[in-house]
Amino acid sequence: MGRTVQIIQRECRDYLGRVVDNWNDFWFTPRDPFAMSVMRILVGWMVFYTVLVWGMRLDSFFNVDGFNSMEMLEKHLLVEEGPFALSFWYWVPDSMVYPVHYLCLAVTFCFMVGLFTRWTSILSLIIVISYAYRARYANYGLDQINAILTLYLCIAPCGAYLSVDRLLRRRRRQKSNPGVDVAPEPVYPTLATNIATRMTQVHFCVIYLAAGLGKLFGETWWDGTAMWRGLANAEYQTLDMTWLAYFPWFTELMTHMTIAWEVSFAFLIWRPLMRPWMLLVGASMHFGIGLMLGMWTFGFCMMFGYLAFLDPLKLRAVLQYVFRTSFGPDDVVVVPPATTRPVPAGAGTLEHVVLLDHSEESAGKTAAELERLGAGARVVSGLDELMGALEDEPDSAVIANLQKVSAEDVERYFCSLQPLALQNRACVTLMRHRQTGWLDSVSMPDHHRILILPCDRKDVINELSKAAAYLSSQESRSRADRAPAVGMASLY
Partner 1 sequence: MTSDMTATPPVAPVDEARPRRRGWSLAGFVLLNLWIVFHLLAVVSAPLSVSPSSNVERGLWMAMSPYVQILYQNNGFHFFAPNPEGSNSVRYVLEFEDGRTLEGKFPNRDIWPRLLYHRYFMLSETLGALGGEARERMVRDFARQLCRDYGAERATLFLEWHELARRERILAGGSLYDDDLYQVTPLGTFTWDELSKSSNANVATTSAE
Among 427, 459, 431, which residue's Cα sits nearest to residue 445? 427
Q: Report d(CA 29, CA 7) in Å as an integer.
A: 31
Q: Report d(CA 266, CA 212) in Å as an integer.
A: 10
Among 463, 442, 346, which residue's Cα sits nearest to residue 400? 463
Nearer to partner 1, 18 or 171 (CB): 18
Instruction: Identify the three-state secondary structure at position 462.
Output: helix
Question: Minimum Å distance from CB 365 to partner 1?
Answer: 8
Question: Minimum Å distance from CB 118 to partner 1?
Answer: 17
Among 99, 108, 145, which residue's Cα sits nearest to residue 126? 108
Q: Is 36 in the site for partner 1 (CB under 8 A)?
A: no
Which of residues 167, 169, 220, 288 is near partner 1 by CB under 8 A?
220
Q: Report d(CA 174, CA 310) in Å as an integer.
A: 33
User: What is the gyration radius of the CA atoms in the chain, in angstroms?
Assistant: 29
Give bridge partners of residue 431 from the DSSP assignment.
452
Which of residues 39, 207, 285, 469 is near partner 1 by CB under 8 A?
207
Nearer to partner 1, 64 or 167 (CB): 64
Which of residues 42, 58, 70, 164 is near partner 1 by CB under 8 A?
70
Which stretch, 228-236, 341-349, 377-385, 471-479, contacts partner 1 (CB under 8 A)?
228-236
Q: How many CB atoms lie within 10 A of CB 398?
A: 25
Question: Minimum Å distance from CB 222 to partner 1?
Answer: 10
Nearer to partner 1, 207 or 383 (CB): 207
Interactions with partner 1, residue window 369-428 (CB under 8 A): 401, 403
Question: Minimum Å distance from CB 362 to partner 1?
Answer: 5
Interactions with partner 1, residue window 335-354 (CB under 8 A): 335
- What H or E segment, with its residue span, contains residue 389? helix 383-392
Q: Report d(CA 182, CA 179) in Å as an integer.
A: 9
Which stretch, 106-114, 405-413, 431-439, 474-482, contacts partner 1 (CB under 8 A)?
431-439
Question: Minimum Å distance from CB 293 to partner 1?
Answer: 10
Q: Is 98 in the site for partner 1 (CB under 8 A)?
A: no
Q: How many CB atoms lie within 10 A of CB 76?
A: 12
Q: Is 71 in the site for partner 1 (CB under 8 A)?
A: yes
400: Cβ contacts below 8 Å, ≥ 6 apart: 356, 386, 413, 427, 428, 429, 430
> Rounded to the nearest 5°, which phi and psi values hold at 50?
-60, -45
Question: Minimum Å distance from CB 95 to partner 1?
Answer: 13
Nearer to partner 1, 8 or 210 (CB): 210
Q: Report d(CA 195, CA 154) in Å as an integer.
A: 11
Nearer to partner 1, 115 or 402 (CB): 402
Which of residues 42, 281, 442, 488 is near partner 1 by CB under 8 A?
488
Q: Report d(CA 197, CA 151) in Å as an integer.
A: 11
Which of residues 17, 42, 45, 64 is near partner 1 by CB under 8 A?
64
The answer to whether 38 and 339 are in contact (CB under 8 A) is: no
Which stretch, 3-11, 173-181, 241-249, 371-379, contacts partner 1 (CB under 8 A)?
241-249
The answer to whether 239 and 291 are in contact (CB under 8 A) is: yes
Which stretch, 97-105, 295-303, 346-354, 379-387, contacts partner 1 (CB under 8 A)?
295-303
Q: Is 266 in the site for partner 1 (CB under 8 A)?
A: no
Which of residues 12, 53, 253, 368 is near partner 1 by CB under 8 A?
53
Q: Is the peptide bond before 272 cis (omega within 30 degrees of 0)?
A: no
Q: Report d(CA 343, CA 88) in Å as an integer.
A: 60
Q: Is 279 in the site for partner 1 (CB under 8 A)?
A: no
Q: Report d(CA 78, CA 86) in Å as an integer.
A: 9
Which stretch, 5-13, 167-175, 311-319, 377-385, contacts partner 1 (CB under 8 A)?
311-319
Which of residues 36, 38, 48, 61 is near partner 1 by CB under 8 A?
61
- What H or E segment, with its residue span, contains residue 151? helix 141-155
Nearer to partner 1, 115 or 356 (CB): 356
Q: Is 282 in the site for partner 1 (CB under 8 A)?
A: no
